[in-house]
Amino acid sequence: MCAGQMKADVEQRAIPTGERRFDSVMRGGLFLPSLTLIEGDARAGKSVLAQQLMYGCLVRGYKLALFTSESTIRGLIEQMQNLNMEIKDYLLLGRIRIFPVSPSRPLREMPVLLLQAIRREAKERGLVFVDSLTPLIVESSESEVLAFFEECKILSLQSATIVIVIHAYGLHSTLRSRIHSICDAHLRLRTEDIGKRLVRVLEVIKTRGTVQYVHNTAHFEIEPRRGIKALPVVIRSNGSG
């Protein structure tokens, strides 16, 4: 499905992730068009969630581009294969383009260069993922980071869907709140140590521009060869249930 086709039919469309519990708390999945922020702590499952979203798009016929500072092309294929998400055929067919991002120029230039590439891929494919933005903005000013997100928001208003992954430590509180207000959806990931069990938590702060207050969390584990395994009940770390 090309970007032109997507532009003609984007109203209220959501792409399911393929994980029922995630789709429930996200009110259907990844909405088109939108600017989505995935934020969280180290090892909380940010990249795995982004990969689940990408895979959901691919199996439903969409084309997408991924800019990754987290992995090589081979490493990404192997990682997703180990999570029961086979993308090799999609890559060979040109349904997904993977662009490893390793800053070779001065780091301050990278957000500008990345934005140029995002514009190109958004125009051609309509779906763009960035995992993660953190190493590319560590030397950027607050105004430069905001400008980057504002440009991505403009692209979403022109029918592109952009998903940006960022580490929680990459943003101070004032900048974080301003970026949250720009994005249409905000997904936060964290880990909870429940007894001897490490559980990951997806918290949907906002989706389709609306803040969510209830039924907005999904607890899950990541299992080799199976991928994401949503837990059937909500586990509370305070011992109340």
In this structure, are strands 96-100 and 34-40 parallel, antiparallel, or unpaired? Answer: unpaired
Q: Does residue 132 lie in a domain region? A: yes
Cα-atom radius of gyration of the chain, to the nearest Å? Answer: 17
Burial track 96-115 (b if 16+ CB lie within 10 A, e otherwise): bbbbebebeeeeeebbeebe
In this predicted structure, what is the pLDDT of residue 236?
52
Q: What is the pLDDT of residues 44-53, one digit of tens each?
A: 999 999 999 9
Angle between helical axes of 73-82 and 46-59 (0-180°, round to 10)? 80
In this predicted structure, what is the pLDDT of residue 75?
96
> At 116, which CATH number?
3.40.50.300
Question: Is a pLDDT exceeding 50 seen at residue 179?
Answer: yes
The count of other CB atoms within 10 Å of the CB of residue 82 is 14
Question: Is a pLDDT exceeding 70 seen at residue 93?
Answer: yes
Q: Does residue 215 lie in a domain region? A: yes
pLDDT confidence bin for 233, thresholds 50/70/90: low
Locate 19 and state its tokens: 């994980």
Q: Does residue 239 lie in a domain region? A: no
pLDDT greater at residue 111 or residue 153:
153
Task: Taking residues 199-220, report their average pLDDT.
Answer: 90
Domain range for 181? 3-230
Q: Residue 124 in 3-state DSSP?
A: helix
Q: Does residue 236 lie in a domain region? A: no
CA distance 179 to 80: 29
The answer to whether 191 and 200 have CB atoms below 8 angstroms apart is yes
Measured in whole angstroms, the distance separating CA 6 from the mean position of its chain's CA atoms is 19
Q: Does residue 51 lie in a domain region? A: yes
Q: Does residue 224 lie in a domain region? A: yes
Q: Does residue 237 lie in a domain region? A: no
pLDDT over 70 percentage in the chain: 90
Q: Does residue 240 lie in a domain region? A: no
pLDDT confidence bin for 86, thresholds 50/70/90: very high
CA distance 23 to 18: 8
Amino acid at residue number 21: R
Q: What is the pLDDT of residues 55-83, one digit of tens each?
A: 999 999 999 999 999 999 999 999 999 99
Dihedral (CA of 170, 174, 178, 180) sign: positive
Task: Taking residues 106-126, report their average pLDDT.
Answer: 91
Among residues 198, 200, 128, 205, the alpha carbon closest in space to that of 159 is found at 128
Write down the residue that tokens 């301003």 correspond to.
Answer: 178
Lowest mean pLDDT among 82-91, 149-158, 186-195, 228-237: 228-237
Q: How many domains does the chain have?
A: 1
When the pLDDT of each residue in the chain is averaged and rounded to a whole number, the result is 89
